[in-house]
Amino acid sequence: EAGVAQSPRYKIIEKRQSVAFWCNPISGHATLYWYQQILGQGPKLLIQFQNNGVVDDSQLPKDRFSAERLKGVDSTLKIQPAKLEDSAVYLCASSLEGGASTDTQYFGPGTRLTVL
């Protein structure tokens, strides 16, 4: 079974530029998550989708971050404009259901963003 795919793996941009990340979840997984992992910390949830609807985006900085999951499969996360403090690894995860306590999240390799 293929895992969660993400691209690009690395991205370097200057502050105030825009950037977009792509995620392809495990086939059949209804729920998709985007996490931000700052160096030396655990992942922090940014947004959770159930199919193509948003379940939780309470920790997404909506003035600069946006995400979409068209057709309930692939997802993109965009930052516009980027700030220095956005430098982090952006992890995508997917799970079968999302709404059950028994659900397990599987993570992609992440995109490492460096903002100069």
Instruction: Name residue, tokens 């992609």.
Output: 108
x-or-dash string of contact with another protein, 1-40, rule CB under 8 A: ---x-x---------------------------------x
Strands (E), 3-110: 5-7, 10-13, 19-24, 31-37, 44-50, 53-56, 65-68, 75-79, 88-95, 106-107
Considering the complex, state which of residue 27 and residue 104 has its C-beta at the smaller distance from another protein: 104
Stretch that binds another protein, among 12-20, 69-77, 78-86, 99-107 (CB under 8 A): 99-107
User: Mapping DSSP to helix (H, G, I), strand (E, B) and coil, where does residue 71 land?
Assistant: helix
The residues of the shown chain that bind another protein, judged by CB under 8 A, are 4, 6, 40-45, 48, 56, 91, 93, 98-110, 112
